[in-house]
């Protein structure tokens, strides 16, 4: 599974933090919130799961981008699915 592999890599490289980036489709709304709130929830959900499978909290960070970084064609169901996502990146600890 992808998240298990990311967790293993994060543990292998001590100088890096795994950043979970939440995204939303333009105009998408969560329960009682806007696209930014929804992207926060997506990023935190991934972060909580990674913590639950053993990745220490100090190795994790989250960022929310709302609908500011759309991918794919929002006019199709497949394109909108690409916009509703969590992406991951490794960042040097000194850069955070």
pLDDT at 30 over 80: no
Q: Model pTM?
A: 0.88
Paired tokens of 9 = 């890599």
pLDDT at 71 over 90: no
The domains of the chain, with CATH numbers, are: 2-8+16-95 (3.30.1330.60)
**Residue 26 — very low, low, confident or very high, per pLDDT cuts 50/70/90?**
confident
List the one residue out of 49, 61, 51 whose CA is nearest residue 92.
61
Using the 8-state DSSP alphabet, how is residue 16 labeled?
Answer: E
Q: What is the pLDDT of residues 31-69, one digit of tens each?
A: 767 999 999 999 999 999 999 999 999 999 999 999 998
* Segment (H or E) for 91: strand 86-92
């Amino acid at each position: 599974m992808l998240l298990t592999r990311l967790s293993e890599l994060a543990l292998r490289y001590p100088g890096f933090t795994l950043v979970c980036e939440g995204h939303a489709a333009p105009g998408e709304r969560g329960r009682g919130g806007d696209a930014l709130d929804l992207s926060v929830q997506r990023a935190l959900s991934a972060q909580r799961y990674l913590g639950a499978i053993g990745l220490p909290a100090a190795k994790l960070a989250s960022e929310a981008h709302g609908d500011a970084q759309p991918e794919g064609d929002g006019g199709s169901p497949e394109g909108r699915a690409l916009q509703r996502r969590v992406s991951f990146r490794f960042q040097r600890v000194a850069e955070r």
